[in-house]
Amino acid sequence: MNHRPARLRVPGRVLLLGGGSEIGREILLALDLPPGCEVVLAGRDEQRMAVAGADLPFRVRTAYYDATALESHQRFVDEVFAAGPVDLVVSAAGVLIDQELLDQDPLRAGLLVETNLTGHVTTLLAVAQHLRRQRQGMIVVLSSVAAVRPRKANYVYGAAKAGLDAFARGLADSLHGSGVRLLLVRPGFVIGRMTAGMAPAPASTTAAAVGAAVAAALANCSTVVWVPRSMGVLAGVMRLIPRPLWRKLPR
């Protein structure tokens, strides 16, 4: 896919929250970042981040970041920005856990919500403070089609994504006029490590396709992108399905 590169200051700095994320890595590769750009991979799994960053064509460093350690997020973000301005923040931390396991383990369900929602909130509010002072910058938030309507097969995950989706839309409005832009990304079922062993859903996509769509959306100054694009239409249909039929869906 041909697209104009997103506008970053040269050489530019990028922070990827969820440094081992497959989608996050594909976004970095699709962005056509300038030579000398520094990418900070932030996550808990040092080995996974080392593998993810090994062949990235940028200056890469890793930093420990735990999305569930809420009290650490302000300090972590302050330290990242203290090392220099940040042009792009990709918020990609997330986990997907089988609903049957969550039904048996409410604490685990709570940790899923902290990873997929609360951690984004505490981290991105700290990020927004710095980007407002910079008067420029971009934020990419990974939501999901699961945010559209809760399903019995993944309602905890869907609830967390719905909260994140609403938060991101509100944050985007609060940043309007500040010079900071936010792109909300709503992929459908993404074939990859997180969904390994699951049968692909209709209109499934790949991490590489999400990366390409994000790069094009940033270049076009879009505020929301569905991946694939047809997922937006499908989501509209999903909202109209009567509840007795909706609850019969296998997943």
CA distance 192 to 233: 23
| pLDDT tens-place values along the chain, 251 residues long | 444 545 566 568 999 999 999 999 999 999 988 878 999 999 999 999 998 888 888 899 999 999 999 999 999 999 999 999 999 999 999 999 999 999 999 999 999 999 999 999 999 999 999 999 999 999 999 999 999 988 898 999 999 999 999 999 999 999 999 999 999 999 998 988 888 777 777 778 999 999 999 999 999 999 999 999 998 998 899 999 989 888 887 65
What confidence score (pLDDT) does residue 5 get? Answer: 47
Cis peptide before 250, with omega less than 30 degrees from 0?
A: no
DSSP per-residue codes, 70-110:
GGGHHHHHHHHHHTS--SEEEE-------HHHHHH-HHHHH
Count helices and strands in the chain by DSSP H and E runs: 10, 9
Q: Is 157 a residue of the active site?
A: yes
DSSP character for 84? S
What confidence score (pLDDT) does residue 1 get? Answer: 46
CA distance 136 to 131: 6
Catalytic pick among 64, 65, 155, 157: 157
Judged by phi (left if over 0) then psi (alpha if -120 to 50, else beta), residue 181 lies in beta
* DSSP SS3 for 185: strand
Residues 6 or more apart whose CB falls under 8 angstroms from that of 101 comprise 108
